[in-house]
Amino acid sequence: MSIIVWQALSIEVSPRWSPIKLEGDFSQGYLLLADLHRPRLGLRWHTPKPKKLDVPAIIDRQMLDEVGQLAANEATAFVPSKAFTFGKIYLEPKPPGRDIWIGYSRASQRIIEVVHHAHRREHLLRDTVLPSLTDLPDVDPRPWSIFDLSCQVHKDFALESRQLNVGDLLLEFSAPAKPRPRRFAVRQIAVAELALKRKNLDGWLASLQRQSHKQYRVTGNITDITIEAAGRKLVGRQQWLNRRRRYFWVRRLHRQLLTLALHDAQRDRLLLIETSEEDLAKTIIPTIGWGWHGD
């Protein structure tokens, strides 16, 4: 099984299912997984207003909207784990069709809907998928795992932007702080063996720094660095950037940025990292690849 952790929701799915659509943030969003032939699993979440928090009524209405009156009448109560306080499930009696579960997590105060596109007479939603569904809003650091990029980031950091292309994944996080927000960004490139034939680590480090060239300038020398990460050694190069003097008045820009280019040889991945604080690099980088099982 493959673990996907996104916006504090964790679920185990078939490794043949890949994310093809990602929308929203912690309060409201949507994740769609598909195999080579068809959509397989949809995960939707939203946060109802506290003043209108009649959970059974909200779930009944949402189930009615999804499957219609006759099927909604056949939905039964189902709570897959202690993470959820209330839920209902509808199983399509004659697949192909959709099996649907809608539940409420008190931990995050979100309504969560899971839809499995069943094409055989099997109920993976009830028997396999839902038992693995977990809500993790209070876990610190908070895990993230999408495709084969995984890391753990302090829970006060929100996902600011992402880019999920085949072989080139980017996650950017930020946390509010005065006078400037804290920042951590990780880009993962596969396959490292091929990427390093195009450019060495210093070349990749320079390409990362060019993205901030307008506001920052290189300072100091490039130094070697080795980091232990989940039993693996990440070997690479790092260098500091200083903010250009003419941007001293831009409050969102830090005085310095730390940039790193690391080779994760065991996973055959190249990691390009930019962070506003060295302490963030020391705490987050060792968690990169936590979801890797060496398959």
- Give the CATH number, domain containing residue 230: 3.40.1000
Supply the pLDDT for residue 294: 64
Same domain membership, residue 276 and residue 152: yes
Give yes or no: residues 169 and 278 share one domain.
Answer: yes
Q: Is residue 278 a contact partner of residue 263, using CB atoms and an 8 Å limit?
A: no
Query: What was the pLDDT predicted at 267?
Result: 95
| Higher pLDDT pick, 272 / 177 | 272
Residue 118 has what pLDDT?
A: 83
pLDDT on residue 265: 96
Predicted local distance difference test score (pLDDT) of residue 91: 93
Looking at the structure, do residues 165 and 233 belong to the same domain, yes or no? Answer: yes
Residue 250 pLDDT level (bands cut at 50, 70, 90) = confident
Average pLDDT of span 28-56: 92
**Domain ends where: 135, 156, 173?**
135
Decide if 294 is inside a domain: no
Question: Mean per-residue pLDDT for 107-117?
Answer: 95
Domain housing 169: 142-287
Between 254 and 10, the higher pLDDT residue:
10
Residues 253, 123 within the same domain: no
Q: What value does the mean pLDDT of the chain take?
A: 93
3-state secondary structure the chain: CEEEEECCEEEEECCCCEEEEEEECCCEEEEEEECCCCEEEEEEEECCCHHHCCHHHHHHHHHHHHHCHHHHHHCEECCCCCCCCEEEEECCCCCCEEEEEEEEECCCCEEEEEEEEECCCCCHHHHHHHHHCEECCCCCCEEEEECCEEEEECCCCEEEEEEEECCEEEEEEEECCCCCCEEEEEEEECCHHHHHHHCCHHHHHHHHHHCCCCCEEEEEEEEEEEEEECCEEEEEEEEEEEECHHHCCCCCCCCEEEEEEEEECCCCEEEEEEECCHHHHHHHHHHCCCCCCCC
Instruction: Tell me the CATH number at 90.
Output: 3.40.1000.10
Phi, psi of 35 (to 5 degrees): -100, -160
**Exposed, middle or buried: residue 241 (CB in 10 Å: 0-12, 13-18, 19+)?**
buried
**pTM of this structure:** 0.92
Q: Which pLDDT tens digit goes with each residue over 198-244? A: 999 999 999 999 999 999 999 889 999 999 998 899 999 999 999 99
Q: How confident is the model at residue 90 (pLDDT cuts 50, 70, 90)?
A: very high
Does position 291 have pLDDT exceeding 90, yes or no?
no
pLDDT digits (tens, 9 = 90+) for 148-195: 999 999 999 999 999 999 899 999 999 988 778 899 999 999 999 999
